[in-house]
Amino acid sequence: KAGVTQTPRYLIKTRGQQVTLSCSPISGHRSVSWYQQTPGQGLQFLFEYFSETQRNKGNFPGRFSGRQFSNSRSEMNVSTLELGDSALYLCASSLDGTSGKTQYFGPGTRLLVL
């Protein structure tokens, strides 16, 4: 089975721009979660989608948004980029998103905001 894929792998943007990141979960997985990882804050949960519905949201400003499509692929969008948004953005998929199931992470998208 193919693993979780994320595109693009690397991205450079400037302040004020917006960015869209993509995640393709493992086939058959219906839950997709997004995380932000920075050296200062570590791994932080952004949001989780299941069957095209956002079920869970972390403590991030409204500039961070996401969506999930009927094939379970997900995108996250960050508008009006700030320098502090520079981070590794990780996507993870699981069968149904419940705590007893394994989450499988992708390699991440490294975003640099200049």
Partner 1 sequence: DAKTTQPNSMESNEEEPVHLPCNHSTISGTDYIHWYRQLPSQGPEYVIHGLTSNVNNRMASLAIAEDRKSSTLILHRATLRDAAVYYCITPRRGSNYKLTFGKGTLLTVNP
Residues contributing to the site for partner 1 (CB under 8 A): 4, 31, 33, 35, 42-45, 48, 50, 55-56, 58, 90, 92, 94, 97-108
Name which of 62 and 100 has its Cβ closer to partner 1. 100
CA distances from 32 to 25, 39, 84, 89 (A): 7, 23, 24, 13
Name which of 108 and 113 has its Cβ closer to partner 1. 108
Name which of 81 and 89 has its Cβ closer to partner 1. 89
89/92 Cα distance (integer angstroms):
10
Question: φ and ψ at 69, to 5 degrees?
Answer: -95, 170
> Considering the complex, what minimum distance in angstroms separates the CB of residue 52 from partner 1?
15
> Considering the complex, what minimum distance in angstroms separates the CB of residue 63 from partner 1?
20
32/52 Cα distance (integer angstroms):
10
